[in-house]
Amino acid sequence: MLIIRDIDTGTVLTKSNLPVSDYTVNPYVGCAHGCRYCYASFMKRFTNHPEPWGDFVDVKHWPPISNPGRYADKELFISSVTDPYQPCEEEYRRTRAVLEEMQGSGCSLSISTKSDLVLRDLDLIRTFPDARVSWSINTLDESFREEMDNAVSIERRLAAMKAFHDAGVRTTCFISPIFPGITVPEEIIMRAREQCNLIWLENLNLRGGYRKTIMDYIAARHPELMPLYDAIYVRKDCSYWHELDMRLREFAEKEGLPYLRDDDSVKRPFSAPPAIVNYFFHEEIIPSAKKRNAPAGDGHP
């Protein structure tokens, strides 16, 4: 049973130490999507929630944002440690409250979600300069998706992506985290390429409390992959990621898609084919990858 609490906070805008934005905006604490691989589960160390990750959500309430115009030309990232359009947003509308307060301020906007509830706010989001919305999609297999998260189906995410793209809002297909031997990036790219401006690639990086969760899952459901996961995550062998990098580079060339090591593609014409941006940098797999525009973490949120 999901436990929902109301909490008061001094502000919803936090100065960002992420290279992707100037400020982060997290209208909630916790996330009902409960992704098994979610890096944001580390938040429990600071919030002292006894409930398992995915079983609690704190709804933030804050004073009115003073002088929104002072954020002109700044980029807001919604959200870094929660999904701003998780199911409770339909009732509590805290993400929409931020958008309404910041509308007309001149700030730019980047939103990351696994939901299609974001469609409710399409008309509002499109009024922000350089707005960009990304959806995390790391499989086209619904059975695997259901084992990994409680978010909406892949087809619903893709439909929402198409609606935003058709409306002229820049969209990103965030293929993250890539599960070795399970995720097939080429299939996802071909499915999403006509309705997105960017395709981000990010490797599964096992750290913190969910390392054992994922390794136990692989052992139970995909035992044939255990030698591969042992090589990558126990013996720190990066060969798989090097080989995948080469494979995807060849695939991109064949399909006529730019393949980049950092996000110089943001200013590409809207009508241009999507650029594929490789962020296999977590364990210095590609030392030249620049973190200044890197996504926030594995499969966020």
CA atoms within 13 A on the CB side of 152: 19
Which DSSP string do the residues of 233-265 spell out, in sequence order?
Answer: HTS---HHHHHHHHHHHHHHHHHT--EESS-TT
Question: Measured at the alpha carbon of residue 299, what is the angle toward residues 108 and 110, in degrees to the nearest 5?
Answer: 5
190 phi/psi in degrees, rounded to 5: -65, -35
DSSP-derived 3-state class of residue 172: strand
**What pLDDT was estimated at residue 146?**
97
Which of 250, 254, 263, 269 is CA-nearest to residue 291?
263
Cα distances (Å, whole numbers) of residue 108 to 76, 127, 130, 149:
6, 10, 6, 29
Whole-number pLDDT of residue 53: 86
For residue 282, what pLDDT is reported? Answer: 46
pTM (whole model) above 0.85: yes
**133-166 burial: b if 16+ Cβ within 10 Å, else e:** bbbbbbbbeeebbeebbbbbebebbbebbebbbe
Helices vs strands, H then E, count in the chain? 10, 12
Q: Give CA 196 to chain center in angstroms.
A: 14
Q: Are 89 and 79 in contact (CB under 8 A)?
A: no
Rounded CA-CA distance 4/8 in Å is: 13
Q: How many other C-beta atoms can be found within 10 angstroms of the C-beta atom of residue 216? A: 10
Distance CA 56, CA 43 (A): 12
Size of the chain, expressed as the number of residues it contains:
301
Q: Helix, strand, or coil here: 183?
A: coil
Order of strands, sheet of 275-278, starting from the edge strand that comes earlier in the sequence: 13-15, 23-25, 75-78, 108-113, 132-136, 170-178, 198-203, 275-278, 259-260
pLDDT at 214: 96
- CATH no. of 3-278: 3.20.20
Find the helix or strand (DSSP H, E) in which 226 lies.
helix 226-233
Distances (CA, A) of 201 to 63, 112, 150: 37, 14, 22
Nearest C-alpha neighbor of 260 from the set 282, 241, 275, 273: 275
Beta-strand pair 23-25/75-78:
parallel
Q: 3-state DSSP call for residue 216? A: helix
Which portions of the chain are predicted below pLDDT 70?
Answer: 44, 261-267, 281-301
pLDDT of 19: 75
Q: What is the pLDDT of residue 299?
A: 44
Residue-level pLDDT at 201: 96
